Amino acid sequence: MSNTFGNILRLTTFGESHGKAIGGIIDGYPPNIIIDSEFIQSELNKRKPNNSEISTQRKENDKVEILSGIFENKSLGTPIGFIIPNYDIKSTDYKNLKNLYRPGHADFTYQKKYGIRDYRGGGRSSARETANWVVAGAFAKIMIKKYNIQVNAYTKQIGNLKFEKHYTEIDLDKTYSYSTRCPDNEQNKLFEQEILNAKKNQDSVGGIVSCIVKNTPVGIGEPVFDKMQAQLAKAVMSINACKGFEIGQGFNAASLNGSYFNDEIFKENNKILFKSNNSGGVLGGITTGQDIIINAAFKPTSSIEKEQQTIDNQGNNIKFKISGRHDPCVVPRAVIVVESVVAMVIADFILMNNEFSL
């Protein structure tokens, strides 16, 4: 359960942040799909800390090695095993954290659940795990591209700053040219400044990622417990630091009337169309064919340089500071992770749907 995601297309992962390697197995991937391994690596590169000041200084190679499931550049239909070795390990950074529970981190809960933990870099609870998800998401993207489906995420809010442009007004293909993953020159600068302010204050800041799925086929999703929105919520809420999920109007729907909210249907030029997209592309857990629109809220990075109060594993109250290498805001690096898990969900639902199976 815990370390597997998906129904037909399933990712199972392993790995502690400072162990030998992290990695995973992608099962259920269809055969005979041409795999461009450079694309897989380029996706993973989007998750790497970039060289700007807004990122951690930890410099991992993050090079994925695919061990099986591909033969002469095509998928075999057999499981795709892969590993991402851990190279730049400075476990010394963590020695002084060995015996204490960092607030906001999973140190305390892992210790209580398992009675043991790999304290180095958060061990299994590290967001480094999401590198595995990006690999799987890259494979999913290759698959769903056969249906012309596109998944694009971008940064929509950092701290109190909101990017107000509608997604149809921006160039979603440019997202990764911008340090904060907001494809708008001016907004990117504002977001960057907001993050630097937090950093300067030895603090961190949260934000919101928006994700759009275009060209979704009509009729995928499941009707009761694995509704499209439920599975997307589960996937996105699995991402480290994610605290909220919404689809379509989301929380805003609470204050709306049905006469406004209902997306009326009409036919024009022999095409079925909707007058609006308040539902965010789903009805009854199944896709309408409109764009899927979701938002994910992220909390501020838990690791901050400011002094904090906590206890050690003997129960002593202590004050401490974190001096490791950390991002002052997780949002820019979370963008590709959101895209990846969403792509995995979409690919999985396509495989669950007879009409759309390859």
> Interaction with its own copies in 63-82: which residues (CB under 8 A)?
65-69, 71, 74-81
* Adjacent-strand bridge partners of 130: none
CB-based contact 230:284 (threshold 8 Å): no
From 44-52, 91-99, 248-256, 332-340, give the range in contact with its own copies by CB under 8 A.
Answer: 248-256
Q: Quick one: which of 221, 332, 338, 347 contacts its own copies (CB under 8 A)?
A: 221
Q: Which is nearer to its own copies, 31 or 36 (CB)?
A: 31
Whole-angstrom Cα distance, residue 154 to residue 182? 5
In the complex, what is the shortest distance from the CB of residue 39 to its own copies, in angstroms, rounded to a whole number? 19
Q: Quick one: which of 261, 277, 324, 325 contacts its own copies (CB under 8 A)?
A: 261
Q: Which is nearer to its own copies, 28 or 324 (CB)?
A: 28
Report 223-242 residues binding its own copies (CB under 8 A): 223-227, 229-238, 240, 242
CB-based contact 123:315 (threshold 8 Å): no
- 196 is a site residue for its own copies (CB under 8 A): no
Q: Quick one: which of 36, 251, 321, 323 contacts its own copies (CB under 8 A)?
A: 251
- 137 is a site residue for its own copies (CB under 8 A): no
CB-based contact 218:288 (threshold 8 Å): yes
Return the sign of the alpha-carbon dihedral for residues 54, 57, 58, 63.
positive
From 37-45, 135-143, 181-189, 243-251, give the range in contact with its own copies by CB under 8 A.
Answer: 243-251
- 264 is a site residue for its own copies (CB under 8 A): yes
- In 3-state terms, what secondary structure has residue 2? coil
Residues 6+ apart with CB under 8 A from 227: 221, 282, 284, 285, 286
Q: Quick one: which of 56, 170, 176, 263 contacts its own copies (CB under 8 A)?
A: 263
Report 321-350 residues binding its own copies (CB under 8 A): none
Of 6, 8, 5, 4, which is closest to residue 352 (Cα–Cα)?
8
In the complex, what is the shortest distance from the CB of residue 133 to its own copies, in angstroms, rounded to a whole number? 9
Q: Which is nearer to its own copies, 90 or 284 (CB)?
A: 284
Report 92-111 residues binding its own copies (CB under 8 A): 101, 103-106, 108-110
Structure-block tokens of residue 105: 């981190």
Report 282-321 residues binding its own copies (CB under 8 A): 282-288, 295, 297-304, 306, 308-311, 315-317
In the complex, what is the shortest distance from the CB of residue 149 to its own copies, in angstroms, rounded to a whole number? 16
Residue at 99: amino acid letter: N
- 91 is a site residue for its own copies (CB under 8 A): no
| Apex 217 CA angle, 215 and 222, nearest 5 | 130
Residues 6+ apart with CB under 8 A from 224: 285
- In 3-state terms, what secondary structure has residue 25? strand
Whole-angstrom Cα distance, residue 311 to residue 316? 5
Whole-angstrom Cα distance, residue 21 to residue 38? 20
- 47 is a site residue for its own copies (CB under 8 A): no
In the complex, what is the shortest distance from the CB of residue 350 to its own copies, in angstroms, rounded to a whole number? 11
Whole-angstrom Cα distance, residue 151 to residue 26? 19
Q: How far is CA 349 from the centre of its chain?
A: 18
Binding mask 149-168 for its own copies (x = CB under 8 A): --------xxxx--------
Q: Which is nearer to its own copies, 168 or 257 (CB)?
A: 257
Q: Which is nearer to its own copies, 39 or 261 (CB)?
A: 261
Of 47, 69, 31, 41, which is closest to residue 146 (Cα–Cα)?
31
Q: Which is nearer to its own copies, 54 or 177 (CB)?
A: 54
